[in-house]
Chains A and B, each alone.
Chain A
Amino acid sequence: MKTNATDMPDQNTALALKAARKKREARSRIYKHIFLLLVSVIMLYPLAWLFAASLKPENEIFNSIGLWPSEFKWDNYTEGWNALPLSFTVFYKNSTIVTLLSVIGNLLSCSFAAYAFARLRFTGKNLFFGLMMMTLMIPYHVVLIPQYVLFLKLGWVDTYLPLIVPRFLASDAFFIFLMVQFFRQLPRELDEAAMIDGCSPYKIFWVIILPLSLPAMGTAAIFSLIWVWEDFLAPLIYLNDIQSYTVPLALRLFLDQEGQSAYGQMFAMSVLSLVPVIIFFAAFQKLIVRGIATSGMK
């Protein structure tokens, strides 16, 4: 701390004040930690309870706040996996297909659009950018019915096309926005130098912009992966055949059919459905946090 030249107080008083302040700060820091730890426990408790319940025998699940099962019922997992007419292997395979293709579609189409908005000059750019930002606000429910009619006429209901094709058409403006923010930070001199060397805008995109944007791509990939994995409304509408169910639909079926009789198994399958999300979060926490801070969403 700097002291003002105008009022040089007695050295001892200054030191004493400083020490008192340090002490006060240390104490308030401890209170803060206690409080934050308490909040953390409250935040994590439901998840911990879910995991514990997935290992408990049926009669221990309710009326107990304890987390430790009297015996570990790993059977909940194996039996739950096969409790529905089809095994969860099918649903995980379906979810994986839909998720992977959707992520690829999102990354490609949104990075194309973002590159155009961030780096290229063309007539109508501001208008289109404004329209793109407006689509951020439009709830999916508003376009749902005409989209459904369209996909029904195309014969796409009960296929994965209504889930995947929109993602190849940059339908999630959030990712465009995220990438525009990132592309704008890259030094313009790079493009200009390449342009002078005779590089086409297409080559600049693949050779300069994309390789430099791996962090942004990573953030977009993780978010899109998690959101598609958890997506419920679109699969609910477009997938009627249990053969093609994704994991969230299977969980809902579990709730409707077995939920009242096999809580342990249902919780076990719920835990499994969260595992990929938690793993990705743990592995890519930095990218996720930075992505939210720069784009400010979700």
Chain B
Amino acid sequence: MKRFLRRNAAGYVFLTPWFLGFFLLALGPILASLYLSFTRYDMIGAPRWDGLGNYEYMFTRDRRFWKALTVTFSYVALAVPARLIMALGVAMLLDKGLRSISFYRAIFYLPSLLGASIAIAILWRQLFELDGVVNDVLALFGIQGAAWISNPDTSLYTLVVLAMWQFGSPMLIFLAGLRGIPKDLYEAAEIDGTSKRRQFFRITMPLLAPVIFFNLVLQTIEAFKTFSSAFIISDGTGAPADSLLFYTVFLFNEAFKFFRMGYASALAWVLLLIIGFFTAITFLTSKYWVHYENERD
């Protein structure tokens, strides 16, 4: 008994920093922002209770809120599949016993590390300018370029391309997953004369499903959180014509440019619910398409 108590104490001692952080920097703020979301708060006076006012304004009158949702959802819907397909494709090429794998792996992963930096965001702005490199390359193929970023119809795609450029980290996870698939399965399929396509859908996909699931959840959350690159490329405002008004950029401006802290808190809570919703959906549906090898029914 005494020993049990002593062990218990050690656990709590080691967890003390985390406890402080969890209550002061995570749980506390989440609850505080729930409260603030029902108030008007400009940081000068005290928060004034406003009931559901913020939410009502958000859903019924704030056009920019809906615009931000549209932009963010379009981005998630385009960038996540694009990045994952790219990552899986390259991972499958690398998996088949190439000797120079570590060379390619390093090159493909580097952009994932650099992608979030301001330097790359600055570079991206210039690449897609009217007189930028992308148009110069297109001109080589006789394609007339455009001002990709200042045109609201195309600006979002420049960020999708940036997301694709950073396919390295899901690729590494796919590679680790592919390593786990027994090679004799493919050999057996080969002997049976199964086509490559069928091998992919009947062996690779099912056995890789847990990894795909994992990558899907993580990359979706990551995509919802996109901030720095959108902020820099859109001059901090979501320009042009709000076509780059990512939800996070919108929230940031409401809070720290216009000091509508109550409203921004409501936005934060809606974001939390959206991410929670998507994660829950993925988890709930996962049992229909993800099968773990050592699963017992």
Residues on A facing B (Cβ under 8 Å): 29, 32-33, 35-36, 39-40, 43-44, 46-47, 49-50, 53, 62-65, 108-109, 112-113, 115-117, 120-123, 125, 128, 131-132, 135, 137-150, 152, 166, 168-171, 176, 200-202, 205, 226-227, 230, 232-233, 237, 248, 251-252, 255, 259, 263, 266-267, 270-271, 273-274, 277-278, 281, 285, 288-289, 292-293, 296-298
Contact = CB atoms under 8 A, between A and B. Distances in A.
A145 B261 contact: yes
Contact of A122 (B11, B26, B176, B252): B11
A252 B33 CA distance: 29
Contact of A266 (B122, B136, B256, B261): B122
B137 A132 contact: no
B43 to A, nearest CB: 7
Contacts of A263: 126
B90 A39 contact: yes
B106 A285 contact: yes
Interface of B: 4, 7-8, 10-18, 20-22, 24-30, 32-33, 36, 43, 90, 93-94, 96, 98, 100, 102, 104-114, 116-120, 122-124, 126-127, 129, 131-133, 136-137, 140, 165, 169, 172-173, 175-176, 211, 214-215, 218, 221-222, 224-225, 227-228, 231-232, 248, 251-252, 255-256, 261, 264-265, 268-269, 271-272, 275-276, 279
A146 B8 CA distance: 32
Give chain A's interface secondary structure class: helix
Closest 8 pairs between A and B when the two form their complex, measured CB to CB: A122-B11, A169-B21, A270-B119, A146-B29, A146-B32, A201-B10, A143-B29, A116-B14
Contact of B113 (A43, A120, A281): A281
A293 B111 contact: no
8 contacts: A46-B127, A49-B123, A62-B132, A135-B22, A142-B271, A149-B32, A230-B117, A274-B117
Nearest to A291: B172
B93 A113 contact: no
B171 to A, nearest CB: 10
Contacts of A117: 15
Nearest to A65: B136
A236 to B, nearest CB: 8
A137 B29 contact: no
Contact of B275 (A121, A131, A139, A232): A139
